[in-house]
Homo-oligomer: A and B are copies of this chain.
Amino acid sequence: MALVVQKYGGTSVGTVDRIRNVARRVAKTYDDGNDVVVVVSAMSGETNKLVTLANEMCDFPSEREYDVLVATGEQVTISLLSMCLNSMGYKAKSYLGHQIPIITDSTFSKARIEEIGDRNIREDLKNGNIIVVAGFQGVDREGNLTTLGRGGSDTSAVAVAAALKADVCEIYTDVDGVYTTDPRIVTDATKIDKISYDEMLEMASLGAKVLQIRSVEFAKKYGVVVHVRSSFNDNPGTLVTKEDEDMETVLVSGITYNKDEAKISVMGVPDKPGIAARLFTPLTTANITIDMIIQNVSNDGLTDLTFTVPHGDFKKALKAVEETALEIGAAGVRSDENIAKVSIVGVGMRSHSGIASKMFQVLSQEGINIQMISTSEIKVSCIVDAKYTELAVRVLHQAFGLDKKDTRAE
């Protein structure tokens, strides 16, 4: 008998009929002899409705009360799913964040889980109950309701799985698992059977939207085996787990892309200590997330500095940078909104050389100019002209042998 944590997202519980489907799947897992803890999101659309209501009420809703409001979405789902399981003859019991409790810090709207009580749930499991947990929500040490930010139910599920030392945390979604790249671009994209936490973190932060990044960090920290799979069929999905020797034999596990960035270059910057700080401090103050930063080798005491920011922050960032550029006597500022970041990810890179240069070669063969490069231990990212995004993804996917089935077995 295993202890299984299952998480169903908003689409999977979007209607009364879909909740009924989820109940059947949960019941089957229970009938197969497992202890089952289910974590659910709000019914799709509900959270948006609540946010609209808050915005109608006032321009800047206070954060504490905002969390009280949006937390009702998951409360509705857990009660409905529990009712349904009860009516099917199962013992099921809903749990709100504060009833478990899921203790978080007091950062409303993006609280971090600090501690999870397992006594209440364990007791109910022992008595044969199926446990239905409200995702996305917690409670701080003063008893205020908190929420974990969009996609927070993934983190709730992994955290509960960690606290209960569950055998597996199944994340049900509307796709079959994590793919080698976006199947909308590459029809030959294949589902990855097994991926390491670190690769998943890179994949998630580079644009694959299957799992909330923080849930993967949590899974890695506590060694929770995460199984990403579809709630619409019984196919096995993708296992996110700790790195093993098999994984290292694969050079590249996936190709990702991100079109949501813009590039800003400051030209002819005097190469003196403290200049970078002066340039970036106003951006940090304005809460703008800077992604890649490239500083060229200095030439005659002058250097060029280029970085990328999210599209949404582009105008604000550009204005701030232009002001600072003037102050520090830079030669000028250039910008480009039509860029894309294309990345290859794989733990195999650590033990294999030549991966990066192969990437550059493949892109160059297609006449794609590389504007910026950034690397980590397990990924290489290139900034290219946005119009080449799909082409770049396709040729890289093919070049690194991801098109074929059973890449892993090579």
Contact = CB atoms under 8 A, between A and B. Distances in A.
A66 B94 CA distance: 11
A61 B69 CA distance: 24
B93 A57 contact: no
Interface stretch (A74-82, A256-264, A280-288): A74-82
A87 interface: yes
Interface in A53-105: 53-54, 56-62, 64-66, 68-69, 71-72, 75-76, 78-80, 82-84, 86-87, 93-94, 96, 98-99
B58 A83 contact: yes
A19 interface: yes
Contacts of A86: 58, 61-62, 65
A45 to B, nearest CB: 14
Interface in A8-32: 16, 19-20
24 contacts: A16-B53, A20-B57, A50-B76, A54-B83, A57-B80, A57-B87, A58-B84, A60-B87, A61-B83, A61-B87, A62-B83, A62-B87, A64-B94, A65-B79, A65-B80, A66-B83, A68-B75, A68-B79, A69-B75, A69-B76, A72-B72, A72-B76, A75-B75, A98-B98
Contacts of A64: 82, 93-94
A145 B66 CA distance: 21
A128 interface: no
A76 B65 CA distance: 9
A16 B65 contact: no
A329 interface: no
A21 to B, nearest CB: 13
Given A53-B80, A58-B86, 4 more contacts: A53-B76, A59-B87, A61-B86, A65-B78
A332 interface: no
Contacts of A71: 75
Nearest to A61: B83
Contacts of A72: 72, 75-76
Given A75-B72, A98-B98, A82 B62 contact: yes
Please list the 7 inter-chain residue pairs (A to B) with the smallest Cβ-Cβ separation, ordered nearest first.
A58-B87, A69-B79, A68-B79, A72-B72, A62-B86, A65-B79, A65-B82
Given A64-B93, A69-B76, A83 B57 contact: yes
A57 B16 contact: yes
Contacts of A99: 143
Contacts of A59: 87
Contacts of A82: 62, 64-65, 68
Contact of A79 (B66, B84, B94, B98): B66
Contacts of A75: 68-69, 71-72, 75
Contacts of A68: 75, 78-79, 82, 94, 96
A56 B16 contact: yes
A106 B50 CA distance: 30
A56 B94 CA distance: 18
Nearest to A132: B65
A399 B145 CA distance: 58
Contacts of A54: 79-80, 83
A196 B99 CA distance: 42
Contacts of A65: 78-80, 82-83, 86, 94
A69 B72 CA distance: 9
Interface string A41-59: 0000000001001101111
Contacts of A143: 99, 120
Contact of A57 (B60, B84, B96, B145): B84
Contacts of A87: 57-62
Contacts of A96: 68, 145
